[in-house]
Amino acid sequence: MARQPAALIPLGYGKFVRADRVFALVPLEGAERGDGRRTLVYVEGIEEPIIASRSEGAIAGDVSAALGRGGRSREGVALPGQEALF
């Protein structure tokens, strides 16, 4: 049986990436943020990060759901296998 490629997740403004290729999310703050700039998304095989218009939390939830690791999480709700950071 052939393995299915990971689902595409939206980054906003018509940008999509494969969930299994995302390896880092960096939220933009201060003057860097604005005009549709919310998160830098580092994707395997792409040299420069992609600027996403969605928050890192929303993207992380979509990646988690696409990879079958619990789905979206709200603050205060732990995902299985994840330690609390704070």
Q: Is residue 15 part of a domain?
A: yes
Range of the domain at 33: 8-66
Pick from 82, 85, 24, 83: nearest CA to 56: 24
Whether 44 is in a domain gets the answer: yes
**Assigned domain for 78 exists:** no
State mean pLDDT over 31-36: 89
> In this prediction, what percent of the chain has a pLDDT beyond 90?
62
Asked if the structure places residue 75 within a domain, the reply is: no
pLDDT category of residue 58 using cuts at 50, 70 and 90: very high
pLDDT band at 82 (very low <50, low <70, confident <90, very high): low
Mean pLDDT rounded to a whole number for the chain:
85
pTM score: 0.75
Structure confidence at residue 69 (pLDDT): 74
